[in-house]
Amino acid sequence: MKEMNQEMIVRCGKAIDSLDVLKSLCEKEADNLLKIIEVSSESGFSVSFFTDECKSELICVGNFNRAENGQSCYTLDFSETTL
């Protein structure tokens, strides 16, 4: 896979949804990304998760990388949310 030069964004949920609902939606989208995107062994990449509205709010940042066992994995960081 070529190196990713553009920022990836996923849009899901609404600002009025509970944090639990938004976390669940983000996890579902991140799981789907793992199925279709190849994570290189050298470096990972980040994906911003925003609400799907005209005035989007940042929900979290997903950090995708390859674990030592060779499996692709991710963590979701909700510390940067603007909700």
pTM of the full predicted structure?
A: 0.85
Which is nearest to 37 in space by CA: 14, 69, 10?
A: 10
Rounded to whole angstroms, the maximal C-alpha distance in the chain is: 41
The percentage of the chain sitting over the pLDDT mark of 90, rounded to a whole number, equals 64
Please indicate whether residue 35 or residue 39 has the higher confidence score (pLDDT).
35
Which residue in this structure is represented by tokens 């939606």? 25
12 is written with which tokens?
Answer: 């899901």
Burial of 47 (0-12, 13-18, 19+ CB in 10 A): buried
- Summarize pLDDT for 43-59 with one digit per residue, the tens: 788 999 999 999 999 99
- pLDDT of res. 1: 37
- The answer to whether residues 9 and 50 touch, using CB atoms and an 8 Å cutoff, is yes
Q: What is the pLDDT of residue 37?
A: 82
